[in-house]
Structure formats: structure tokens, C-alpha cells
Amino acid sequence: MADSFATLTAVEALARFGEGSLSPESLVEDCLARIERHNPKVNAFTCVNDVEARRLAAESARRWQAGTPCGTLDGIPITIKDLTLTKGLPTRLGSTTTSADGPWEVDAPISRHLRNAGAIVIGKTTSPEFGWKGVTDNPLHGITRNPWNTELTPGGSSGGAAAAAALNLGLLHQGSDAGGSIRIPCSFTGTFGIKPTFGWVPQWPASAMSTLSHLGPMTRTAADSALMLSVMAQPDVRDGYSGNPLGPDWRTPPPADLRGWRIAFSADLGYVEVAPDIAQQVEEAVAHLEALGATVERVDPGFSDPIKTFNTLWFAGATQAIEKLTEQQQAALDPGFLDIARRGQDVSLSAYLAARRERSELTAQMAAFHKRYDLLVTPTMPIAPFAAGHNVPLSGRYKDWMDWTPFSYPFNLTQQPAASLPCGLDNQGLPVGLHLVAGKHQDLKVLHAAQLLERYLPPLTPPGVV
């Protein structure tokens, strides 16, 4: 079967369902065929829900034929990350310390919301163990690879979702992001993903990383992410953090242009070294913001690297994830994860509370910054994808994954909406991401700017797919 749907979007598929030129059965069959063809190369899936997906596609087709779709996403094939509970499918957290027997009887809020809207879960995607790092490999499922070059990492922790999105193995993909885990792999694979303002998308069970963790969409276009958020971002009483907020109308069309917008462009946050070819692609993308009518000022947000603050909270969270594991189970963990969890055991209460205070100060600083600027724009990543199966590039310059992700984790501390939009290719022919950040609860500014930029920066497709 040809890759006839390799660039199809969910918005386009729904329109075609409605006019009768495409059926959910045909779309699901095509996705399953391409998963069979591409997944052995990239290892993006922990399981494929083929029998159930075909049954649900047939039911959806009958509803569309009768003119009675059951919800916003009726018939759209989607994937769910292995960290997210999904009824009937295993959630193993990428860890041999979890049981293969289940039972898998409960949907997390987003799994339930997506299914209630008619989405068809076509499979679950890979994550590093407990989602602990910015690349995707784990002791249970092995190494996930980048579809642009399978010798390289797709990033992480939502690396399986990113690889699936790049290849369109399903049209909508759920990711999670506690330090960059949506935006890192979207940058490395040439896809779009947004970490929405904390609280819009309900989480249950709560992440070990607490209020650092955001759930969001990973797609080929910003419009598809807005569509997915319109379903994901619904209240659920099980979420103990969000207070059940109601978000904006996610599918509000963007304005005609960006006239009247003030945008801050920081090429390096004032302290990051960025590869020259990546910097060039980002510069060219920023010029399109000016072409859209925005006033762009070169200005840094004015904070120093908050890596110590982030690491204190991150390591403490990792400790929570292993507290109930036996010594034998701990010995089976990814050694890097076990190392940071043990480092977290040395975090004192005083240091933890100091990190929380520093976090609140940074949040206030960025709130003041966004009174002046609609958006902050930076590179998403300072480096290109590197060898798969390694936590850091082989050059030896970096020690931990946080060392090479300096643009992403600050905005988990502040809980702001932040997205990565593909903006071209570097000198190796690998994707480059543009990082769009707005003030808290101003997610539509990110989505609208991204949709307008896509006029100049169309979605990327890995070579050999179409």
C-alpha cells in the first residue's frame, strides 16, 4: 500500500469523512499497514491495538454514513504514551519493574476524553523508563530511533510519539512534558507539539514530577494540536492539582496577521551556546514573524540558567518514583535513572523549599516579562539529534540530559505554554525547531502564531516516506 496518508492531517481527515471521500476504515487500515512497514525501523510503539482499532473504525464508518458522528474526533487514529493509563492496553512505564499482567481497567482522564470523542487508539508509544530523560530508550522496549536517520535519537521522553507523528502512524499523538519531553522530540523529528499551561489538561494519577509535568498534543500541524486540545483539555475531578479549570476555545481561528504583536527574540537566553546552522534557521524563521506584521525585539528574558533549581525538583521527583521498589527491582532500572533517584535522596527539605521559592520568583519574573511581550521566541534545541542509545552526545561535553536542553526546562518551572514548530533543516538535513513561549493561560497566542508561521514553514516529512 502506498503512503497515501503520510501527510494527511486530522482536520483534513474529518472533512473528508464528512463529505464521504474517505472512511475511517480506510484510514485505520492505511495507518496499520504503515506501522507494520515503518515501526521495525524506529521502534515507536510498545503495542499496536490492531483488532480493536479495526472494530472501532467499522463502527465509526457506520456513524459517518448515517451522518451521526459521536464526537469531535470520531474515526481519527491516535496514540497514547506508555506513561498514560489506557483501558485494555498495557501501561508499563518502560520498566521491567512493572507487571505485564495488568489489569488495565482504567482510563486516565485524557484517554477517556479522547475515546469519548470517538478517537481510535491505534497503539501506545515508547518512553524512557518512568519518562526520566530527554531521549527514548528503556530496559523493557529497547531503543527508539529517529525517522530522519535511524542511527540518531528522536529525543524524549515522548520519543515514540514524535517518531509516530513524523511518519503519520496515527494522526494525533499524546505526549507529556516535565522538562521538555514534548518539545525536545518535536524539534528533533520535525513535528509540532505544545506544552499547554499547567492545569488545562487534567492528570491522574499525578506525575512523580508533580507540577512540572504537563500533558499535551504532538502532531504534524498546529491546527491538529488545537483540535486535540479541544478534547484533551476538559476537567476531570480526579486531577488534584488543576482545580478543574475551563480553557479557551482552542479552535478559535488565528488572526489575519500579527500586526500589533510585540515579540521578544532571544537567540540564546543570554547564556546558551547554539550550533551556528541551527541559529541561522531560527533567524530566518523569526524574519517571517516580522513579515506577518509583528514588532520583533532582540531581548533576553533576563534570568540566569535555573538548572540547579530544576535539578533539585527533578531529582526529588525521581526519588518518589523508586521509593516502593525492592532492591532487586532497583537493580533492574536504567542505571541513569537510578543514579538521579539516589541523588534525589540527598536533597534536603531546606534545599527543596529553596528551589520552590526560586521557582516562584522565576514565574513572577516571566509574568512581568509577558506584560510587555506577547511571545518569547528562541531555538527549541541548541544541538542536532545525536547517536541513539546515549543520554548525551558522544563529544563528552555534557554530563546529564538537562545540560543539552537549556531552552525547555525553564518553562516547566514557570508552567507557561510553550511549543516547538519545525522551521527548516540544519546542515546535516535534520529538523530544527522554533520555540514559541507565551504568558500563562495565553496558549492561543502560541497556537495562532504557529498556524500563521506554517504559511512560510510547512510541515516536514522524513525522506523516503512519500
181 is catalytic: yes
DSSP string, 70-87: -STTTT-EEEEETTS-BT
Beta bridge partner(s), residue 219: 192
Beta bridge partner(s), residue 172: 78
41 is catalytic: no
- Judged on CB neighbours under 10 Å (0-12, 13-18, 19+), 236 is middle
The span from the CA of 53 to the CA of 171, in Å, is: 14
Find the catalytic residue in 157, 187, 225, 242.
157
Angle (CA) 311 163 276, round 5°: 65
The span from the CA of 312 to the CA of 305, in Å, is: 13
Cis peptide before 393 (omega within 30 of 0): no
Find the catalytic residue in 81, 133, 195, 445.
81
Half-sphere exposure of 156 (CA within 13 A, CB side): 32
In this structure, how many other beta carbons lie within 10 angstroms of the beta carbon of residue 206? Answer: 14
The span from the CA of 127 to the CA of 129, in Å, is: 6
360 is catalytic: no
Look at residue 375 and give its three-state secondary structure: strand
The span from the CA of 329 to the CA of 96, in Å, is: 8
The span from the CA of 102 to the CA of 100, in Å, is: 6
Return the amino acid letter for 439.
Answer: G
Find the catalytic residue in 23, 95, 127, 181.
181
Cis peptide before 422 (omega within 30 of 0): no
Whether residue 152 contacts residue 146, with contact meaning beta carbons closer than 8 Å, is answered with yes
The span from the CA of 300 to the CA of 8, in Å, is: 38
Residue 11: partners with Cβ closer than 8 Å, 6 or more residues away: 221, 223, 224, 227
Q: Which three cell numbers stand for residue 267?
A: 537567540
Q: At what angle do helices 50-66 and 24-42 cross, to 10 degrees?
A: 150
- Cell 499535551 appears where? 216
Question: Could you list the active site residues?
Answer: 81, 157, 181
